[in-house]
Amino acid sequence: MKCIINRRAEFSASHRYWLPELSEAENTTRFGLCANAPGHGHNYVVYVAMAGELDEYGMVLNLSDVKQVIKREITSQLNFSYLNEVWPEFQDTLPTTENIARVIWNRLAPHLPLVRITLYEHPELWADYEGNHMEAYLTISTHFSAAHRLALPHLTLEQNSEIYGKCARINGHGHNYHLEVTIKGEIDPRTGMIADLVAFQKAVDEHVVEPFDHTFLNYDIPYFANVVPTAENIAVHIRDLLEEPIRKIGATLHRVKLIESPNNSAEVYGLSVTGTNLARADVPALVSA
């Protein structure tokens, strides 16, 4: 039986976004504060996903061996380093989150049966790389607070309550929504970027966070005047709002995940993904200790 296992590791390192062929002004315009000398640092967390058949001992791989490989090939070399200079790959292509994930894959692939590298630059920014040449995924996490009421206008309060329970109450209720937006694209061989990160963040802020934050969705967002603002419908609408802005920054919208509460979330995939109507709602089971 095939199984996927994951091993977590971490390292602290600094980097700088700076292209010597550009002037100081051009670097500042392109990379903002990330161009400042001597650079800045992060506590990186990397997840190494590997696949294989279970052996007679119930393991895909011996995790002690995996740990040593990751330490030897990755963390012992990157920890407390200046990434731009530690490996030659980062002299050709800047050490962005997505490019670091790609290079880690290339360094580990001869030793481990990889299926994915996930690299967190910080809890609200991470990249995934799956071995497809220069293709990678970049995710930002953000949040907004909003109220909503789940009710169909042609039904009575009693009927809506049968469908939506407490969520149908007249005055609504609120959530601190957490939003994850993932884009897909080709890593630029010089800048190391799928798309400009500032432009990516700006698109999400301008089209979703600012319009949605501190609103009553049913009344303040025109789309929800006739659409019940369930987590699923909100995620679909966010997807539709972001498709074109993400395309304009040179990437493809891959996935939108909306976390309504620790118990409920919904995710939808971009229209370019196979199965354009694919959506999934997750309601994790509660487990008592």
Q: Would you please indicate which residues are annotated as catalytic (active-site) residues?
A: 167, 214, 260
CB 263 within 8 A of CB 271: no
Is-cis flag, bond preceding 38, omega within 30? yes
Contacts of 121 (CB under 8 A, 6+ apart): 42, 44, 97, 127
Handedness of CA 103, 108, 110, 113 (dihedral sign): negative
Name the nearest CA neighbour of 197 among 250, 135, 261: 250
Q: Name the phi and psi angles at 33, rounded to 5.
A: -65, -20
Round to whole Å and give the CA distance between 135 and 122: 21
Within 93-225, residue ranges assigned H as helices are 97-108, 157-164, 197-204, 210-212, 217-220
Instruction: Dump the DSSP string for 29-51.
Output: HHHGGGG-TT-EEEEEEEEEEEE
Strand partners, 175: 146
Question: What six digits make up the tokens of 280?
Answer: 């999934």
Question: What six digits make up the tokens of 283?
Answer: 């309601």
Question: What six digits make up the tokens of 42?
Answer: 């992060």
Question: What six digits make up the tokens of 170?
Answer: 């007249």
3-state secondary structure of 124: coil
